[in-house]
Structure formats: C-alpha cells, structure tokens
Amino acid sequence: MASGVKPRVKAPKKVAAGEIATIKCLISHKMESGQRKDKEGNKIPRSIINRFTCDFNGTNALDVTLEPAISTNPYFQFEVMIPEAGELKFTWYDDDGSVYETAKKVAIG
C-alpha cells in the first residue's frame, strides 16, 4: 500500500429530492507514472490508482478508468442524481491491490 493515502470528499449533506448534486473528491496519492527515473537512472515502477467508482445506494453513478496521465492526487468533480435519502459510496482501486473506501450520507430536506 502506498503511504499517506487519504481520500477526501465534498458532498452536500442535504438536498431536495431529485436534485442533482455536485460532488468533488480528491485522494492523496503520488500516482507514479512509470516514466520517471531516479538518481541512478533506473525507472521508478508505475504505481497509480487505476479505477474510481461512485455509487448511490448501490447504483453506479460514475466509473472512471485512470491512466498514468492523471495528475498526482487525482481529483474529480461530477454530478449525481439524488432521488432519495441514502449513502454515497466512493471507492478507489490501487495498482498494488489496495482498495480505499469512503462514504457520505445524504439527507432529503
């Protein structure tokens, strides 16, 4: 597992039913592209997050395949339809097999 990985999500706590909410999320990750070389001229092996998904109450909203061209600390902004109260679940999949998860509750009101 890459060190110091911390997911951060900004989502509204309360929305009107059927509203489209803007979600911003960022995860701290060095996203080593596999192109860089160290001082000795050896290639630093690739280590990135290769997939990100966002689900609302178990239904998928966004599924992103990431390539090495995504910047350090991958950031995404997107929109999710919120028809009812529930939970937004965010999942990041690392190249080394680790999975980082976080969730946000959304209320209607």
The residue count for binding another protein (CB under 8 A) is 32
Q: Is 107 in the site for another protein (CB under 8 A)?
A: no
**5-13, 35-43, 90-98, 99-107 -> range binding another protein (CB under 8 A):** 35-43
Q: Which residues contact 16 (CB under 8 A, 6 or more apart)?
A: 108, 109
- Residue in 74, 91, 66 with CA at minimum distance from that of residue 29: 74
**5-13, 31-39, 95-103 -> range binding another protein (CB under 8 A):** 31-39
Q: Is 71 in the site for another protein (CB under 8 A)?
A: yes
Dig out the tokens for 23 from the structure.
Answer: 């979600």
User: CB burial class (10 A; 0-12, 13-18, 19+) of residue 97?
Assistant: exposed
Residues that bind another protein (CB under 8 A): 20-21, 33, 35-37, 55-57, 59-72, 74-82
